[in-house]
Structure 1
Amino acid sequence: MHTLARKPWLSQYPVGVPADVDLSGYTSLVDLLETAFREHAPLEAASFMDQSFRYQDIDNHSMALGAWLQSLGLPKGARVALMMPNVPQYLVAIAAVLRAGYTVVNVNPLYTPRELEHQLKDSGSEVIIILENFAHTLAQVIDHTPIKHVIVAAMGDMLSFPRKQLVNFVVRHVRKLVPAFDLPSSSQRQVIRFNTALTQGQHKTLTRRAIGLDDIAFLQYTGGTTGVSKGAVLLHRNVLANTLQCEAWFRPRIDAIGHRHLTMVCALPLYHIFALTICYFIGCRLGCRNVLIPNPRDIPGLVKTLSKHRINMLPAVNTLFNALLNNPEFAKLDFSGLKVCFGGGMSVQKATADQWFKLTGCPIVEGYGLSETSPVATANRLDISEYSGTIGVPISGTEVVLRDDEGNDVAPGQPGEICIRGPQVMAGYWNRPDETALVMTPDGYFKSGDIGVMDENGYVRIVDRKKDMILVSGFNVYPNEIEQVVNLHPGVLECAVVGIPDEHSGEAVRLVVVKRDPNLTTEALAAYCKENFTAYKRPRKIEFRDALPKSNVGKILRRELR
């Protein structure tokens, strides 16, 4: 009873979901991967450009690439940067780096030269595996980085002949997606093609290194939404724990589906922690087929790919769910196999969730997490049938408390900063003890920077980012609340709210809207806001735009609007 009083969320768990997870059967993430490769060997691990790749293929290729990496003589724990979209080479590279005893540094392939230089220098990466489409960015800064070895992949590298040649020709010469780059080999630097490294690695032996739960698996750089990009140090323990936590949470639903071989859409980029854990590691654990989507912004292309598969699981962010709903061809797909739609990365809007459920019959189950929590910390039950407006309850082995600015726990129903403790919480920020000290409490909680409210059953509702809060004449205004309501207006496609300086009230609310109905006016929207919000919450300024600034995962960037 004492435990339930302290952890009221345990009473909300579905039957079969444990209060904790057990890592004792594993020495590292490598154990989990190699078990998956062995148990699911003949099953399809990925589908890419209409070609299948089995778990056995990923196993063999990653062993060869890992052996090649070890032949470079790098010390255990050396950082290897991966800069690719969702291509099969990425699946191989993650496993290869971990099996070789090194640390993966995931890099956003759309980074500018300045952002790339910062991450490579900050992480101390000596090796980079990069898709040639982005090699021109690397070429501009490589001399200012510690990179000594470059492995250049091409889009079609892992496809069979003659499709490989055709895809690479189209990408390079028809669609012109590979800008010219100059990355010559020299006495200081080796530049090699991905397939050449694989071939050479097949004649080498992968040495089994002693890799433990407290070794670093990933340096996962934060998106920079809260300032300078920092590397969250994710140990093997952290990502392994979160994989097992998510599996425990998914298991009752998956057992109820009864499918032996589930198909998951991997449209979120694998360099982002959400797809990395949910699609890659959970996918391996469950023996799923991942449908790899290299460019999720091409919605017509995505829908065309989806039409070729019977999809069971779709992790996505609100903007992607919304974009699919606004594509007329998407409505024609067969949704009978769709059983799990997991929303994260940003708030799922009620308007999107309601419309999605009406069309597909599968609810969007919202969860919550951060790069620093590997990522999932809370989730709604997968057997819900309607939008809850909450981020759910803490998952197995996770504790969440809400605290005020003085570090005191707040009462149920009162807003406070969401603080998370559990085996998935990072070891700290890479080489940033000062930054680590700002977010880790003496009793082991990670301070998320998000303001939430927890009810008496342990369900948490986010009211906003701490720094996005708008202070109007001493009243707190949370942009999420305004956005949720404005998004319900039939004439609104999407919107964002930020604070602007105001000489009378200190700050005022500014609303930026992308229209669904071209005839929508500021007057009509102002009247709608007057009807729905008390005076201090109403937008002082309303403006229309053709698009909102977004990160590469589709998260709306309020700081850019500010």
Structure 2
Amino acid sequence: MLDGCTPWPEVFVDRYRAAGHWRGHTLDDLLRGWALEHGPRTALVQGDTRLTYARLNRRVDRMAAGFRLRGLRPGQRVVVQLPHVPELVVTAFALMRAGVIPVFCPLSYRASQVAHAAHVSEAAGYVGPSMYEGVDHRATAAGIAARWPFLRRVFTYEAPGTSSPYGGLATDPSGCHYFPLDSVDAPPDRPLAQSAGQVAFFLLAAETTETPRLIPRTHDDYTYQVRAAAESITLTENDVYLAALPAEFTLTFGCPGILGTLSVGGTAVLAENQTPAECLALIAQERVTFTSVVPAVARHWLEELPKTQADLTSLRLAQLGGAPVDRRTARRLGTGLSCRVQQLYATPEGLLLLTPPTAPDDAALAGHGRPLSPDDEIRIVDTDDKDVPPGTPGELLIRGPHTPRGYYRAPDDNTHAVTPDGYFRTGTVARSTENGTLTVTGRLAKG
């Protein structure tokens, strides 16, 4: 386990392996297998770009070799802050194939938040657009490089048909090197031997502070989450997923999202601008079968529905995640899209609650369901950490095979975030029924 991460105790490692949850596969192992099994099928769609599984794997292979040629080394960390484009998926897998650990950072994050993520992870590199929607991301990376000596490689993405205002290859006074992302290409070399117990990537906690915490997700825990989530909604190679939210959101990336869709040979469609009109048009154009949204986005879709002529009959399931939502909005979404609605609650720290997609509407809309894994252990406690009876709200605590045991390089935070016996404090207020169904009602008040 990477220095600064809290490992699972061996007794739990043995338990999760014996149960078949952790199977010793890295995400890179899975992509190679998907390419062999589903080679000519379409894996990713965005605009006019369509990547088959075989082509996706080849691009990952060459970019991984290119990253190594540009000086990145196994175990190093790289901040990834890309728009909603196929390059985000290609880059993530290429870094992992090179043994480098991506640190996913939303494009909406301010320069100070990106700098904090880079500082905590001691990122050796940064991948992002040079300019995007008026924000100079290259300048952000240059500022980090000037402040700390570990960041020495910046890879800039340019949208098709545009060029960088900074030109091509360059080195700044701090010694940081700049490369166009599309120049990161080299003949593939021998694959690295990697352990599934290693950190695959970092997600950032869903918080708006200037100092977001980093969450280490291992290959073992995330491949299990993706597989179990895909099985929970019976995904098949005929499914088409619309990524209507940013891909670095855990809801979009792996609940089951993009990775779950790829795991069964399906197609993931990336909505470039993620506007309601674009998303509804893509459902019709690509014959999308399922998608995932948060309540705020669902309400915007409901406003757009009367204006659209799009044929939405291919859609079978809409996942409604994020903040607690009123039952009326959930019902309206299902009626408006003429599909099933599945409530779920997911956090980057691994908590994933889902209602059964086959449950009667009243049951599916009454709460957030049950934990993903049969080996997820749940407690709901009061302010004294005593378990509360069913129906009484309290803080939700969880430990399980896809819930890390702490934040990265945050020992002080971890003394409060994780109990001595390994339960993660979610900061989420929930209540349970007698049969174990959970309903999230909000967040704990700070202070």
TM-score bucket of the superposed structures, by smaller chain:
0.7 to 0.9
Deviations, residues 315-336 of structure 1 (Å, cap 9, x unaligned): 1111111111101466532232
Q: Helix, strand or coil: the match of 2:91?
A: helix
Q: Helix, strand or coil: the match of 2:356?
A: coil
Q: Find 1:84's aligned residue among 74, 82, 94.
A: 82
Q: Which moved more, 1:355-364 or 1:94-103?
A: 355-364
Identity of aligned residues (%): 21
Q: Helix, strand or coil: the match of 1:428?
A: coil
For structure 2, the 5+ residue unaligned runs are 1-17
Q: CA 1:338–1:123 in 2, change beyond 3 Å: closer, same or farther?
A: same
Compare CA radii of gyration and give the structure with the larger one.
Answer: 1
CA distance in 2, matches of 1:197, 1:416: 50
Cα deviation, residue 29, structure 1: 2.2
| Contact 2:81/2:106 (<8 A) preserved | yes
Cα deviation, residue 241, structure 1: 1.8
Cα deviation, residue 379, structure 1: 0.6
2:8 aligned partner: none
| Contact 1:363/1:384 (<8 A) preserved | no
1:239 aligned partner: 222
Q: Which moved more, 1:298-307 or 1:236-245?
A: 298-307
Deviations, residues 283-323 of structure 1 (Å, cap 9, x unaligned): 21121211111221x33333333331211011111111111
Q: Find 1:401's aligned residue among 379, 385, 388.
A: 379
Q: Which moved more, 1:120-129 or 1:180-189?
A: 180-189
| Contact 1:324/1:330 (<8 A) preserved | no
Q: CA 1:316–1:183 in 2, change beyond 3 Å: closer, same or farther?
A: farther
1:215 aligned partner: 198
Q: Find 1:148's aligned residue among 144, 152, 172.
A: 152
For residue 149 of structure 1, what is the amino acid of its counterpart? Answer: R
1:360 aligned partner: 337
CA distance in 2, matches of 1:242, 1:60: 26
1:346 aligned partner: 323
For residue 70 of structure 1, what is the amino acid of its counterpart? Answer: R
Q: Which moved more, 1:60-69 or 1:119-128?
A: 119-128
CA distance in 2, matches of 1:96, 1:462: 37
Cα deviation, residue 441, structure 1: 1.3
CA distance in 2, matches of 1:236, 1:349: 35
2:296 aligned partner: 319
Q: Helix, strand or coil: the match of 1:307?
A: helix
Q: Find 1:421's aligned residue among 395, 399, 407.
A: 399
CA distance in 2, matches of 1:245, 1:226: 32
For residue 82 of structure 1, what is the amino acid of its counterpart? Answer: V
| Contact 1:391/1:460 (<8 A) preserved | yes
TM-score computed with the length of structure 2 as normaliser: 0.87
Deviations, residues 478-521 of structure 1 (Å, cap 9, x unaligned): xxxxxxxxxxxxxxxxxxxxxxxxxxxxxxxxxxxxxxxxxxxx
For residue 185 of structure 1, what is the amino acid of its counterpart? Answer: T
1:445 aligned partner: 423
1:15 aligned partner: none
Cα deviation, residue 432, structure 1: 0.5
The answer on 1:289 being equivalent to 2:267 is yes
| Contact 1:394/1:458 (<8 A) preserved | no
Q: CA 1:30–1:38 in 2, change beyond 3 Å: closer, same or farther?
A: same
CA distance in 1, matches of 2:428, 2:233: 25
| Contact 1:417/1:466 (<8 A) preserved | yes
RMSD: 2.4
Cα deviation, residue 127, structure 1: 1.3
Q: Helix, strand or coil: the match of 1:332?
A: coil
CA distance in 2, matches of 1:272, 1:371: 8
For residue 148 of structure 1, what is the amino acid of its counterpart? Answer: R
CA distance in 2, matches of 1:444, 1:421: 6
| Contact 1:380/1:393 (<8 A) preserved | yes
Q: Helix, strand or coil: the match of 2:94?
A: helix
CA distance in 1, matches of 2:379, 2:299: 32
For residue 147 of structure 2, what is the amino acid of its counterpart? Answer: H
The answer on 1:383 being equivalent to 2:366 is no
| Contact 2:230/2:261 (<8 A) preserved | no
For residue 380 of structure 1, what is the amino acid of its counterpart? Answer: T
| Contact 1:44/1:53 (<8 A) preserved | yes
TM-score computed with the length of structure 1 as normaliser: 0.70
1:558 aligned partner: none
CA distance in 1, matches of 2:287, 2:298: 17
CA distance in 1, matches of 2:394, 2:253: 29
Q: Helix, strand or coil: the match of 1:414?
A: coil
CA distance in 2, matches of 1:121, 1:214: 24
Q: Helix, strand or coil: the match of 1:47?
A: strand
Superposed, 1:110-189 pairs within 5 Å as 110-134=108-132, 136-140=136-140, 141-142=143-144, 143-145=146-148, 146-156=150-160, 168-169=161-162, 184-186=170-172, 188-189=175-176
The count of residues paired between Structure 1 and Structure 2 equals: 419
CA distance in 2, matches of 1:210, 1:78: 16
The answer on 1:335 being equivalent to 2:321 is no
Cα deviation, residue 467, structure 1: 0.9
For residue 98 of structure 2, what is the amino acid of its counterpart? Answer: A
1:197 aligned partner: 184
| Contact 1:303/1:330 (<8 A) preserved | no
Cα deviation, residue 111, structure 1: 2.2
The answer on 1:62 being equivalent to 2:60 is yes
Q: CA 1:403–1:93 in 2, change beyond 3 Å: closer, same or farther?
A: same
For structure 1, the 5+ residue unaligned runs are 1-19, 157-167, 173-177, 470-562
| Contact 1:451/1:464 (<8 A) preserved | yes
CA distance in 1, matches of 2:215, 2:237: 35
